[in-house]
Amino acid sequence: MRRRVLECARQFKSSWVELGRMLSEVKRASLWREWGHASFDAYCARELFIRKQTAEKLTMSYGFIERHEPSLVRGEEPRPAPSFEVIEMLSRAEAAGRLPQDGWSEMREEILERPPSPAALNRQLSERYGPAPRVEPLPQEGRLRKLASMAHRLASACSGDDDVPRAVAERAQALAEDLDDLVR
């Protein structure tokens, strides 16, 4: 029983890698188009019930582990991949320039042998490579443009969804237009 529980836990932990791999393939090959979806995000939301942010985290994390530990991806390693949260944090750190090129090789054994919690990993990254860079807020015009763009995506999604009442889709479109006026 103990061995079965351990195997089950390993499968659970490594399942995010398989989902990340499959989502990456769907995204790379634009398979969502063949399946009748307007976008990768729409496919994830409507068919898999996965939010855009979650799909992005999974594909980015898979990309990180694929680049740095291909043997884990291919299942050649006897150990499972570290938790999704740990790899996702490393992926974000790498994308932000916070994890240097040789950073993974410096931390590899420690992370694979005794995976830290996300909070502990954040502390390690700060101690080794400095604090996370501060994100400067966009100027007012940039923020308004971003909000207007988001409102247009919302309006488009609402108008293309049969489950959204027409009145709600019209309100979303009106909001997008009001934000356009603010930008001007």
72-117 pLDDT, tens digit each:
888 777 777 888 899 999 998 888 888 888 889 889 988 888 889 9
Residue 103 in any domain: the answer is: yes
HSE on the CB side for 9, CA within 13 Å?
9
Residue 51 in any domain: the answer is: yes
Residue 134 in any domain: the answer is: no
Residues 45 and 92 in one domain: yes
Residues 63 and 101 in one domain: yes
Residue 48 in any domain: the answer is: yes
Residue 99 in any domain: the answer is: yes
* pLDDT tens digits, 124-157: 998 988 887 676 776 777 888 888 899 999 998 8
What CA–CA distance (Å, rounded) separates 49 from 93? Answer: 27
Residue 24 in any domain: the answer is: yes
Residues 115 and 169 in one domain: no
Q: Give the C-alpha distances (Å, rounded to integers) separating 145 from 9, 138, 140, 150, 159.
A: 45, 10, 9, 9, 21
| Domain coverage including residue 166 | 140-183
* pLDDT tens digits, 150-159: 999 999 889 8
Residues 69 and 32 in one domain: yes
**Residue 15 CA, distance from chain mean position:** 15
